[in-house]
Amino acid sequence: MLSTAWLFKLATHRVLSYAKPMPALPASKIAWKNTFRRIAYEVISNRRYADSATVLVMGIYESCRQLGVDFREVELGDWLMFQQSEKEYPPRNITLKYIDEAWVTVLGYDGRRERIKLKISVSGAFRRLLEAILGEKQPYNPRIVLKSWNTRGGKLYVKGELHLAIPLDFYYRHMKRFEGNYGKLYGGVDVNADRVNLAIVDERGRLRDSYTFWFREATARGYPKRRARSVIGMRVHEMLRYAYHHGVKTLFIENSDVLGKLKLLWIRNGRRLHKNYNWKVSIFRSSIIEMIALKSPLYSIRVGYVNPGGTTHSKEHDEIMRKYRLDRHTASAYLIALKGLKQP
């Protein structure tokens, strides 16, 4: 497992080093594979893994283009993982056999190849999703992410996660919390680094309710990233449940320029990509906005996007704070809701 992850990363580094100086890069996934497959295969002698390393670099390149980042200056982050980018059922290299068992093709540094059995554990809600994937033979893209390793009794042990990428409509079909939404109200959401503010209005824009969902601990220095994401996820679900039970049928959130471009997760978060602290915060906020947009349909809540300009530090914003005695973040959420109502 460890050698496969290192070989995959080395192959990704090699493709990246070859792609950076090229004056023009391929325009399609097939062209990327045809151009760089041999280069990656010389490092990791498995066609699916070699192609997946190439597709990963292609995703980084596309993200850089959309974010306006110089592709030639990016560096890979501190990760160890390997994946299969081809969506099929069952995937040849990383195969979910049963709810608690997967078979994985691994490679040694000497090129030796074998299949190993992994024991996996999953929580209740996601067990049902895995059962649906196996029962309906849903194609998926698998990934193994290694988190830690150590030696016990002269043997090497690794600990990691199995990720399965599936179509969004399949996810919604099997994970939906509420089937119908008969609410008539609207919600505005203001996302910040330590909280999510919700303001609920009626069709005439009158403020009906507001609430703040905090996750201060998730932003504390040294707080584990995985635990932070879990805490934020719980608060997002709490906010969506609150909105659903208070009659919200549509949520309006800010339309961030970086929304949906979080493939940069695999790039080193260094100074080259972050001009200042505010840019880092915008990426963090965008990830929460993306989470809200992804989870809202589970509660039968529609999502609308508004231009964030003017929702803070404006005359209207200050007047709303005084009129309704709101803090500045709740006032921003209220303005977002009003903006959403005015949209055609």
Contacts of 195 (CB under 8 A, 6+ apart): 212, 213, 214, 215, 216, 329
Give the β-pairing of 195-201 and 185-191.
antiparallel
Question: Whats the size of the chain, residue-wise?
Answer: 344
Provide φ and ψ at 284, rounded to 5°.
-65, -45
Note the pLDDT of residue 201. Answer: 95
pLDDT, tens only, 195-237: 999 999 999 999 999 999 998 887 777 778 778 888 889 999 9
User: By the 8 A CB rule, do 59 and 74 touch?
Assistant: no
Instruction: Please name the residue ranges forming H helices in the chain.
Output: 2-19, 29-41, 47-67, 124-136, 168-175, 225-245, 277-295, 315-324, 328-342
Could you tell me the two tokens for 124? 């209740």
Give the β-pairing of 141-152 and 113-119.
unpaired
Say how far apart CA 40 and CA 34 lie, in whole Å.
11
Note the pLDDT of residue 151. Answer: 86
State the maximum Cα–Cα separation within the chain, in Å, rounded to a whole number: 71
Q: Where in the chain is the domain with CATH 3.30.420.10?
A: 185-342
Note the pLDDT of residue 275. Answer: 45
Note the pLDDT of residue 303. Answer: 93
Secondary structure percentages of the chain, helix, strand, coil, to 5: 45, 25, 30
pTM, whole model, 2 decimals?
Answer: 0.78
Contacts of 56 (CB under 8 A, 6+ apart): 12, 83, 85, 266
Note the pLDDT of residue 281. Answer: 56
Contacts of 243 (CB under 8 A, 6+ apart): 187, 198, 200, 251, 299, 301
Crossing angle (nearest 10°) for helices 168-175 and 124-136: 120
Note the pLDDT of residue 217. Answer: 84
Could you tell me the two tokens for 13? 């580094």
Note the pLDDT of residue 252. Answer: 95
Could you tell me the two tokens for 328? 């500045």
User: Would you say the C-alpha torsion 221, 223, 228, 234 has a positive or negative sign?
Assistant: negative
Query: How far is residue 84 from each of residues 11, 104, 137, 140, 213, measured CA to CA in Å?
Result: 14, 11, 17, 9, 37
- Asked if omega into 90 is within 30° of 0 (cis), the reply is yes
pLDDT, tens only, 307-341: 876 556 677 888 888 888 888 899 999 999 999 99
User: By the 8 A CB rule, do 244 and 299 touch?
Assistant: yes
The series of mean pLDDT values per 10 residues for the chain, 344 residues long, is 95 96 92 95 96 93 81 87 91 93 94 92 85 94 91 87 92 88 94 91 94 87 80 93 96 69 46 45 73 92 83 75 88 92 84
Say how far apart CA 141 and CA 160 lie, in whole Å.
17
Note the pLDDT of residue 309. Answer: 66
* DSSP β-bridge partners for residue 76: 267
Note the pLDDT of residue 45. Answer: 94
What is the CATH topology of the domain spanning 185-342? Nucleotidyltransferase; domain 5 (3.30.420)
Question: 340: how many CB neighbours lie within 10 A of its CB?
Answer: 22
